[in-house]
Structure 1
Amino acid sequence: MKSKITGQRFLAVTLLNVLITVVEIIGGLLSGSLALLSDAFHNMGDSFSIILGYVAQQLGGKSENRKQTYGYRRAEILSALTNSLLLLVIAIFLIGEAIQRLGHPEHINGRLMLVVAVVGLLANFASAALLHSGSHDSLNVKATYLHVLSDALSSVAVIIGGIILSFVNIPWLDPLLTIGVAIYIGLEALPIISQTIKILMQSSPDLDYDNITADLKGVAGVNDVHHVHAWMIDENHIIFSAHLNCDDLRLSEVEGIYSQVEQILREKYHICHITIQAEYGRGRDENLFNTPVDKQHMINDKDNDK
């Protein structure tokens, strides 16, 4: 079951991020640490992302209606995409700033940098704990959770840098840490961007269509399957439609076939919304994905000629 993160938890995480942001901006300015300032701006972006994630979750929970017959679940996918793109933009910005700092290194107050980074790490761990329960079931919450985790990693990197700079003056260490954290942030964002775009483009979910075909043809009265469409509303809800070539049956008998087909698709393949159209002879020249057999042969012949 998909777990929901409560508004109180989102509020607590937002307040923690605002607190971290203020502390790190002050600490970064006083210590001269770009890594600390970059982490502060990262946290500022996180505050926006957490609020957006909560609004999207509330909107996604609204019931279906005449204007949105599939409901509002895509709001969470849009939020996840927005948050992940924001992470990527932040990563690119941080890398640019760090490269400039490499050319003009500054003295860093390592001890102050260390103290502020420890405060940030503790607050980020608290935020991550609040969001952890929903991060496995929702791309929206996962994107927000990754924001917080990337902040925690940033704090770890800054702590390591602070410890070193407390004893040794290495001007290039601070921007180098910033680049490392930024690369990590970008790499964490890319898979979510890819998955959300696939969902928004209505790409097919990962289903075993050969086994589905065999299972449906195994239902008494079903002779063939064609015109299959499958897509996702969000990462947890698969929509499936298909045409079935059946024996010449009465409507009451076809309804029995529908019940068996729906049971197979729901229980074995975890499909939540199923639309089936029964036919007798119509569509026999179509394959599983609605390409007429003779046209498919023409496509294959052209491919073989290349």
Structure 2
Amino acid sequence: MEEHKLQTGSRFLLVTLLNLIITLFELIGGLLSGSLSLISDAFHNFGDAFSLILSYAANRISRRAPTVKNTYGFRRAEILAALLNSLLLVFISLFLLTEVFKRFMQPATIHGKLMFIVAVISLVANLAATILLNKDSKHNLNIKAAYLHLLGDALASIGVIISAILITIFKVYWIDPLMTLLVSLYIIYEAWPIIRQTFSILMEESPQLNFEDIQKDLLTIPEIMGVHHLHAWLIDEHELVLSVHVNMADLPLSQTECVYLKIENILQKKYGVAHVTIQAECNRGRNTKLLIEKENFQNN
């Protein structure tokens, strides 16, 4: 595990350095060639470098052990980083869309051959950076947000190459802002689901669980006569936490613990719940609905 973390850290460092180099390279190439799509790609790469630094810092913070003040640990740091990175993507894309409008209104002459050379070199570097983070992006929202930055830049570089070829051969300069428009819209489209998911986690929305099925499964345990006040939320994109009140007969504590084990076994194996908090009651709340409502909360 530690070896994997070190490898991830090394990849973050290497990809960050790659992006800083690409940013400078594309910015100079864009200014010399007059290509808006190259300049926009440079902005995206600069955003990538910031994104990777933020993602790496959040990844390090998330590994800290729980404390008295943060009893669930610091894993939400990565969720915050994923949200900030995705919002940055959208902000940069919206800014570039305004530049696209200006370029459509005032077309500029572009040096197609120089644009092509810079774009090809940038594509190779972007693909290398994307490959480095591909594996980790499948299991971590934070790294996925950074990965999408890189993937967007790789696609942008392909678009710039196509634009450069068309500009060189046919002198169609409007293709440059058009490609910037398409890439910006694509990046917004890819970033939106991450924004929605991270916001959902931070707002502690209930995950995709069938609460009625959970209630039915818990009621199959002979000692349980009622299930109510069920809550579920995510600490990060992987760790699911659940709390529930159950009505039981007036049993000794030793027998109650056996029932708790049965509840935990069902919730962990069938529903993937990582941490369960159970409150046992005899008659209190027996007629309360499964999901707590405002009036029930006030009455209890």
Q: Given the alignment, which residue of 88, 91, 98 partners 2:90?
A: 88
SS at 1:132's partner residue? helix
Contact kept? 1:83, 1:144, Cα under 8 Å: yes
Query: Which letter does structure 1 place at the counterpart of 2:214?
Result: I
Total equivalences in the alignment: 293
Contact 1:204/1:230 (8 A) holds in 2: yes
Supply the distance in 2 between the matched residues of 1:40 and 1:291 (Cα, whole angstroms). Answer: 51
| Aligned match of 1:54 | 56
How many Å separate the matches in 2 of 1:6 and 1:184? Answer: 27
1:18 — aligned with what? 20
Which consecutive unaligned segments of at least 5 residues does structure 1 have? 296-306
1:262 aligns to what SS in structure 2? Answer: helix
Q: SS at 2:74's partner residue?
A: coil
User: Quick one: distance in 2 between partners of 1:140 and 1:266?
Assistant: 25
Q: Does 1:284 align with 2:286?
A: yes
| Structure 1 runs, 4 residues or longer, greater than 2 Å off | none
Could you tell me how far apart the structure 1 residues matched to 2:293 and 2:223 are? 24
Q: Deviation digits for residues 176-212 of structure 1, max 9, x if unmatched?
A: 1111110011111111000011100010011121211
Equivalence map 1:27-38=2 (5 Å): 27-38=29-40
For residues 138 and 115 of structure 1, the distance between their equivalents in structure 2, rounded to whole angstroms, comes to 34
Structure 2 residue runs without a partner (length 5+)? none
2:204 — aligned with what? 202
Q: Structure 2 length normalisation: TM-score?
A: 0.95
Residue 247 (structure 1) shift:
2.0
Structure 2 counterpart of 1:59, which letter? I
Matched with 1:246 is: 248
Conserved in 2, the CA contact under 8 Å of 1:216 and 1:222? Answer: yes
Displacement of 1:240: 0.3
1:290 deviates by 2.0
Which amino acid counterpart does residue 211 of structure 1 have in structure 2?
A: D
- Taking the aligned partners of 2:78 and 2:113, their CA distance within structure 1 comes to 41
Within 2, Cα distance between the matches of 1:219 and 1:118? Answer: 64
Aligned partners of 1:21 and 1:41 also within 8 Å: yes
**What TM-score do you get using the length of structure 1 for normalisation?**
0.93
Q: Deviations over 1:220-263 (max 9, x none)?
A: 20111100111111100111000001122111111000001101
* Bigger shift: residues 78-87 or 20-29: 20-29
Measured in 2, the distance between the counterparts of 1:117 and 1:208 equals 49
Deviations 1:3-37 (A, max 9, x none): 75621100000011011111101110111000000
d(CA) in 2 for partners of 1:92, 1:175: 13
Distance 1:89 1:290 in 2: 38
**For 1:225, what is the secondary structure of its paired residue?**
strand
Q: Tell me what 2:223 maps to.
A: 221
Amino acid aligned to 2:291 = F
Aligned residues: percent identity? 51
Q: What RMSD in Å do the two structures reach over aligned CA positions? A: 1.4
Look up the SS of the partner of 2:251 in the other structure: coil
Three-state SS of the structure 2 residue aligned to 1:6 is helix
Partner of 1:302: none
Q: Distance in 1 between matches of 2:111 and 2:203?
A: 49
Once residues 274 and 195 of structure 2 are traced to their aligned partners in structure 1, the CA distance between those partners, rounded to angstroms, is: 24
CA distance in 2, matches of 1:208, 1:167: 59
Structure-1 residue corresponding to 2:67: 65
1:133 equivalent in structure 2: 135
2:267 corresponds to which letter in structure 1?
L
Instruction: Give how far 1:172 is off.
Output: 1.1
1:154: which partner in 2? 156
CA offsets 1:125-170 (integer angstroms, 9 cap, x no match): 1111111111111110000000000000100110110111111111
Match of 1:202, SS? coil
Residue type at the aligned position of 2:133: L
**Equivalent in the alignment of 2:175:** 173
Cα drift, residue 291 of structure 1: 3.4
The AA in structure 2 aligned to 1:278 is: A
Equivalent residue for 1:211? Answer: 213
Equivalent residues in 2 for 1:109-120, closer than 5 Å: 109-120=111-122
Q: Is the 8 A contact 1:32 1:107 kept in 2?
A: yes
